[in-house]
Structure 1
Amino acid sequence: MEKAVFNALGGRKSERLNPLSDRFADRLESSALESVSRDSLSCACSICKGEIPGSSSILESTSSLDPNALVSASFGDITKDYIDWNPEDGNTTLTYTVFDRESENFFFTSLEQTAQEEALIDETFTEVDALIELDFEESEFILNSEIVVIKVDRYIGWGSPGIVGQVVEGPNRWFVLWKDTGNAEFDSNTIVHEIGHSLGLSHPNEAPNNPLWNTVEDTVMSYNSFAGEWGDEFTDVDLAALTEIWGVETSLV
């Protein structure tokens, strides 16, 4: 049986093994997972945190980063278009899928996500959900989702071996790609960093290597560690920026 881009509609492993239609596989290959340059609507975070782990390390941060410096001019609007964002009509829900199947095709090789990695993804969305007007639901099915999180060993769009993450804009959803480097703390930072892009965050002032900022004290959208430690959760500044994009949570449910 020839492998399609994904062998099933399901994201997390289940007994549902409905093969994708050729049309859907072709659409993913030709548009959703095409290589997107860093200067357009994507983030190829490589030097993103500087080659693979352990480069830039900040010992002390004295910055007071403005949350508006993290609001992307385009990412959030794309996500709002995906979900037909309209709080006045109660349309505030974004659906995500954690894709954890092993799959290989011309464009990428995906890996199964560990229980810890899946938990981090779920916890990240849950934390944000409680604070901003945007709400999150999880689905096993890619077709139901506006964000699909994929752990990869290889992606054709990454010419440099140092790239460890990217958000790829598809016709109807973001594909959040993150590379397993074997360093769990570093990889956790990559996961949250790339989810941040899909929710509308940019790099701080588009200068993520600025030594004033690090991923622990300032923003997970920085490329710098703090004395070798990589932040794996949104900071207060990140959450304030997300509130600027999506508004404060008003629902009690």
Structure 2
Amino acid sequence: MTSLTGARQATNWRHPSRRGRRVASISSSPFAFIIAIAAVVVVAMAMAAAVAVVAAGAAPIFVESFEPPANPRSASSTSSSSWSSSSSLSSRSRTFVAIAAARRRSMSTVLRLSDDGGAGRTSASGEKPTIATGDTVFCKRSLPSLGIHENSSYEVTSIYVQYFDDETQRITRMPLGCLDDANVVASRRFGVGKNALYVTLYSPKYHAGGKGVGDVVVSPEEVGLTSVRDELVNATWLAVPGFFWVYVALSFYSTYHDKTGGSLADAFWGR
């Protein structure tokens, strides 16, 4: 009789009855509840991340803008005379930089203007630029009339500063290598006049005529320019909390499985 009772106890230990399963599920219910909460939090974080990526509209303002006497967007729609004189404008801008450097010899930084398509380009401060000519950027604001749509990618074909020169009484356009150089130009001029920073964007999906013809002129703040690097960094930071809660859920499931031998569905439903 004693041996039979011991065998039954051993059998019940290996294969618990309905009552034993109920006790095990009750004892493990906190794990199931925590796992369920973690799963809900992960889903909520994923939805919040998606909404944040779509709705985010950070628009960095680089320089003080003003309404220029001439329409800067006329370069993309009128005749090509303004663009055909780019060589003379470039030489004029380089002369301006040379004169500014001669007047302010104490300033050690020199504005670097290169036409290498953005490869190996650095800003005037010597740091890697945020957005340079030839880079792919995203627009966080829409301008349907110019073919600019939210969260769409575009290529930066040119960057320039436009201002009214008091000495020549003309509107001067200075091409730049990156957006960071605009701040250096403003500091060199010591606030004489006001600078307006513009970029030309192109997308084969929204602009007809090819690159150099269908480009549109916009300011960085009105379209909310962001670089690909900034988008990746923001997405990574948004994903970190989600990875943490996934790790917590897997840890609780591992503990639940080691104690009860149940599956993930059993842990979720508290069985």
TM-score range, shorter chain: under 0.3
Question: What's the TM-score once normalised by structure 2's chain length?
Answer: 0.21
Which one has the largest radius of gyration?
Answer: 2
